[in-house]
Amino acid sequence: MKAISECFSENILAWKIFGIWFGNNPNKYYKYYSFIFLNLTLTIFNLLLTINLFYTYNQIENLLHEVIYIFTEITVVAKVCMVLFWRKKIILAFAILDSEEFEGIDKISKEIIENDVLKYKNIMKFYIVFCNLSYCLAILPGFVDYLLGNNSEFPISRYNFLSYEIKKQFYIYLYLYQSFCIYGHMVYNVSIDTLITGFIHLTINQLKVLKYKLKRLNLKHFDVIVRYQAIVQEITSVTLFIIFGMGSAIICVTLCGFHLVSSTDVNSLLFIFTYLIAMVLIIFVPSWLGTQLMHESQELVSAAYSSDWMNSSKEFKSSLIIFMERTKTPMCVVGMKMFLLSLNTFITIMKTAYSLFTLISRFRNMT
């Protein structure tokens, strides 16, 4: 059976290409590459995006477009910082995934692991295709208009702080710059979102294997899972807080886009629709997995009780009692010790987003 951490090989490859993964032994030339790449595509890009926001405050239709990307960029920066600052912890999590304790002990446990890894890979492929579709809907229409000689805007930010003459003179360069930068940011989003969901998904997977092992009187696996889950919690806590904290605002602003965009502008409507679905999925998938994690950990008590403990030694019975007491508190993922990753949190975010959207709509109708 392949190492479990190999399911994240595509994530690591993407991080290496886009300058945020140094590995175990950072190369000094890669450090230079990473510094230049991140400053050109992340720091300068976001600086220009922020400057443009101050030149767009009195243009409601254009402001909405800018605000969507500002909110999104906040989450992108948080995700990039997570990989950069928690690199050693991520490597440690990979090492635990590949440890002997996380390997299947027989055919059935190996099948449980392989099926869940395959499920994760299929979800990741779907998410990659969907996000690339959303990217194409945002980038290609403007480029086609340019090739046809029609008037077209930049795909992301309109750069209102530049004069019309400068924008016209350097249009193709600025267009390609924005397109390349936002593609890199999309890759950050996809690769890091799938890392977070993959970590949680594999925790659930190991709890399933542990339930099977419990029936065969094996308790050591639980301590390794607890250690792994603690590392995942430490890595993702702040990033999840920012993602979920910005969730309501991003979804609310995107909903407002349907009101402000003309019904004849099919390209913009399609982009906003796919973007909205992507944002909802970013919040829904971790929330669903968080609920599954709590559910699977709660079932460990009944799995332990179903084991052949009556015919076991006194020492094992004592260990089993301690184990059952520990598992009475379900495993969970918490964002900055403020909210649980669960479907209830997802519903709260969606309700908040819709309430904000309704409030803004009523305010616009009054004015």
Return d(Cα 157, Cα 178) in angstroms, integer. 8
Q: What is the pLDDT of residue 308?
A: 65
Q: What is the pLDDT of residue 109?
A: 84
Give the number of C-alpha atoms closer than 13 A to the C-alpha of residue 362, restricted to the C-beta side. Answer: 6
Q: What is the pLDDT of residue 179?
A: 92
Q: What is the pLDDT of residue 217?
A: 59
Q: What is the pLDDT of residue 187?
A: 94
Residue with the bigger pLDDT between 214 and 136: it is 136
Return d(Cα 14, Cα 184) in angstroms, integer. 9
| Least-confidence region, from 173-177, 215-219, 224-228 | 215-219
Task: Point out which residues pair with 339 in neighbouring strands.
Answer: 335
| Predicted TM-score of the model (pTM) | 0.84
Indicate if the pLDDT at residue 44 is higher than 90: yes
Residue with the bigger pLDDT between 17 and 304: it is 17
Question: Two tokens at 275?
Answer: 């973007």
Average pLDDT over residues 328-355: 88
CB-based contact 20:188 (threshold 8 Å)? yes
CB-based contact 143:175 (threshold 8 Å)? yes
Return d(Cα 233, Cα 227) in angstroms, integer. 10
Contacts of 245 (CB under 8 A, 6+ apart): 335
What is the per-residue pLDDT across 174-205, written as a single tens digit (0 to 9) for each? 999 999 999 999 999 999 999 999 999 999 99
Indicate if the pLDDT at residue 1 is higher than 70: no
Backbone angles phi, psi at 23, to 5 degrees: 70, -160
Average pLDDT over residues 272-285: 89
Which of 200, 148, 206, 140 is CA-nearest to residue 175?
Answer: 140
Indicate if the pLDDT at residue 334 is higher than 70: yes
CB-based contact 290:200 (threshold 8 Å)? yes
Return d(Cα 282, Cα 290) in angstroms, integer. 13
Question: Two tokens at 180?
Answer: 């390349």
